[in-house]
Amino acid sequence: MTILDGKKVSNEILEDLKIKFASLDKKAGFAIIWVGNNEASGIYVKNKLKKCEKLGIEGKLYHLEENTKEEEVLELIDKLNNDDSVNGILIQSPLPRHINEVNCFNHVNYKKDVDGFSNISAGNLTLGNPSLISCTPKGIMYLFDYYHLDLEGKNVCLINRSNIVGKPLFNLLIKKNATVTMCHSKTSNLEDFTKKADIVISAVGKPKFITSEMIKDGAIVIDVGISRENGKVIGDVDSEVFEKASYITPVPGGVGPMTIAMIFSNLYEAITKYQNK
- What are the Cα distances from residue 146, in Å, to 227, 249, 250, 277? 26, 13, 16, 29
- What are the Cα distances from residue 171, in Å, to 52, 183, 233? 30, 14, 29
Per the residue annotation, which of 5, 113, 115, 223 is the catalytic one? 115
275 in catalytic set: no
277 in catalytic set: no
Select from 37, 164, 38, 31 the least CA-distant residue to 91. Answer: 31
Q: Specify the DSSP element, H or E, that contains 158.
A: strand 155-159
DSSP 3-state of 111: helix
- What are the Cα distances from residue 150, in Å, to 25, 77, 156, 178, 184? 37, 40, 12, 9, 25
Per the residue annotation, which of 5, 48, 112, 244 is the catalytic one? 48
What does the alpha-carbon distance between residue 97 and residue 117 come to, in Å, rounded to a whole number? 18
92 in catalytic set: yes
Positions marked active-site? 48, 92, 115
